[in-house]
Amino acid sequence: MNTVCRFLVKFSSLIVATLHCFDRVLFKGHLPLARATELERFVDYFLGVRRSHFMKVLAPQYSDSLVAYAQRWARKTNRTFLYRAGSFRKDQWAEKILREQRIDRGLVGILCTMETCNSFSLEYAKQRPRFVSKPRRQRVLYYYFLDEQLGLIHVRLQTWAPFTLQVCVNGHDWLAQQMARLHMGFVLQRNAFTQLDQPVKAQRQADRFATLDWTKILNRYARLVNPLLRKQLACQQPNWYVDQAEFATDLLFSSRAALSGLYQNFCNSPP
């Protein structure tokens, strides 16, 4: 941040406005089942089944039901459900659907991929088999939504225990939604604001992002994409934390020529 401040002071004559805001923020939601001992307690006492039965029968059924639920939702809302293996630019796929289908809110599309994620296996022990943490190749669902407040977001759901959730939001998108609602003039290009008609008011709005009721927002999406939380896993609630957070400073220069000259100086400077 000190480097940014020095830059702003040095080139203040060329800069007409600045905006400090969150950019990409990644939340992770872990159920208590993320711990092997908690999974054993859940299987032994809540479900009341053998641990081998859970791994061989119930766990695959849970996974199938989550994928089937996603497919039904896509059909019901006339949205795209796509199974895709290998490397794939997921966000670009969602943005393309958003443009072509002109979706204005709600579900955009659902991706199903195969990924290796933290999970469990059942291993031999002296008294009885026990769960141990072990990566598992499994189906993972990516739900893309156009949220009225947050803009384009995705919710990632592992379909095998411990059913870890991930929610990715973008502070620029959220701020754009707020300014549009307040009829504030702006231009957002490639995840940066290139025009702000009311920069002071925009900064006040940006500062609200960190104070939102994130637990309420994230739990709502968790229940939307994981129907097990409303039935089989009703006794389990996600614990949320920030896994990654990017904070950005957008600089608006007095003219394109001013920025172009400064950029050329940077490019020609010795390393």
String of DSSP letters for 111-164: EEEEEEEEEEEEE--SSS-EEEEEEEEEEEEEEEEEETTTEEEEEEEESSTT--
pLDDT at position 48, please? 93
Give residue 172's Cα distance to chain centre: 14
In the structure, what pLDDT confidence band is assigned to residue 271 with cuts at 50, 70 and 90? low
pLDDT at position 5, please? 66
pLDDT over 70, % of the chain:
92
Average pLDDT over residues 183-210: 92
pLDDT of 3 strictly over 70: no
pLDDT at position 260, please? 73
pLDDT of 203 strictly over 90: yes
Task: Write the pLDDT tens digit of every residue in 149-168.
Answer: 999 999 999 999 999 999 99
Residue 236 lies in a domain: yes
Task: Write the pLDDT tens digit of every residue in 226-258.
Answer: 999 998 898 888 999 999 999 998 888 877 777
In the structure, what pLDDT confidence band is assigned to residue 87 with cuts at 50, 70 and 90? confident
Residue 3 lies in a domain: no
DSSP state of 238: P
Residue 197 lies in a domain: yes
Longest dimension (CA), the chain: 75
Distance in angstroms (rounded) separating the CA atoms of residues 120 and 128: 16
Residue 4 lies in a domain: no
Residues 6 or more apart in contact with residue 168 via CB below 8 angstroms: 24, 25, 26, 27, 153, 154, 155, 156
Residue 8 lies in a domain: no
Structure tokens at 204: 């006040």
Residue 149 lies in a domain: yes
pLDDT at position 6, please? 74
Among the residue ranges 2-6, 56-60, 208-212, 236-240, the one predicted with the least confidence is 2-6
φ/ψ of residue 159, rounded to 5: -95, 0
In the structure, what pLDDT confidence band is assigned to residue 177 with cuts at 50, 70 and 90? very high
Give the torsion through C-alpha atoms of 38, 41, 47, 49, to 10 deg: 120
pLDDT at position 243, please? 96
Domain boundaries, position 42: 16-254
pTM for the full model?
A: 0.89
pLDDT at position 88, please? 82
> What's the structural domain count of the chain?
1
Rg (CA), the chain: 23
Highest averaged pLDDT of the listed ranges 44-48, 121-125, 220-224:
220-224
Residue 267 lies in a domain: no
Residue 246 lies in a domain: yes
